[in-house]
Amino acid sequence: MFRPLHYKRFVIMKKKNTTTIGIDEVGYGPWSGPVVVVGVKINQKEQFDITFCDSKAINTFKRNALFHEIISLMKKDKLKAFVSFGSAEEITNNGIFPTTMNCMERVFKNLSTPHSQTFIDGKNVPKNLKGLVTPVVKGDQIVREISAASIVAKTLRDHYMTSLSLQFPQYGWHKNMGYGTKHHTEAIAKFGVTPHHRLSFRPLKKYWGVVE
């Protein structure tokens, strides 16, 4: 038996009495910091009073509240989650796309079981997982497991960038989260780059070899 979930012209078929895994990434575009990939696994029998949603569509207060709700559900064994960080160094050496795909593979391998069904946000799937997972464009608005993964990933990454900003306050990471804002660009021109910058990104390639 299948449970169809409709969204505009898309129909996603969820198997009943199985576990569903949703995978999402946060931090693909910033110039600094890690990319964070999270998987959330929920049994289809579980029903929650909370409504998951796209982490980018809600404010920080609401997102943090949902994050703590998710942690509470984890403690009650209502869901499982796995987090994979792709460091700035890995992104510099291997590129953002391969790093993200590698993180997704790690998440899948740690959560997948013979009776689970996996959805990944977006249209890209790691080549080793083709046929094993289903890509869903705007999945964080459609699949609750992807929505939950999005919330966890965004919250963890924001907290990480805020903590890094205490060590490197000149870049304003607690506000821009590593994106190439005007303030961030000016700070790089004045102070140079750090080990947390992604030197494979075009605006930063001229600094390659400067950071040990």
For the entire predicted model, the pTM comes to 0.88
What are the tens digits of pLDDT across the range 162-204?
A: 999 999 999 999 999 999 999 999 999 999 999 999 999 999 9
Residues 90 and 99: beta-carbon distance below 8 Å: yes
CATH for the 2-207 domain, from 3.30.420.10, 3.40.50.1110, 3.40.630.30, 3.90.550.10:
3.30.420.10
Which amino acid is residue 193, in one-letter code?
A: V
Predicted confidence at residue 115, as pLDDT, reads 87
Residue 141's pLDDT band (cuts 50, 70, 90): confident
Given a cut of 90, whether residue 211 has pLDDT beyond it is no
Which amino acid is residue 129, in one-letter code?
A: L
Please, what sign has the CA dihedral across residues 143, 148, 152, 158? positive
Average pLDDT in the chain = 88
Given a cut of 70, whether residue 128 has pLDDT beyond it is yes
Q: What spatial distance separates the first Cα and last Cα of the chain, rounded to whole Å?
A: 56
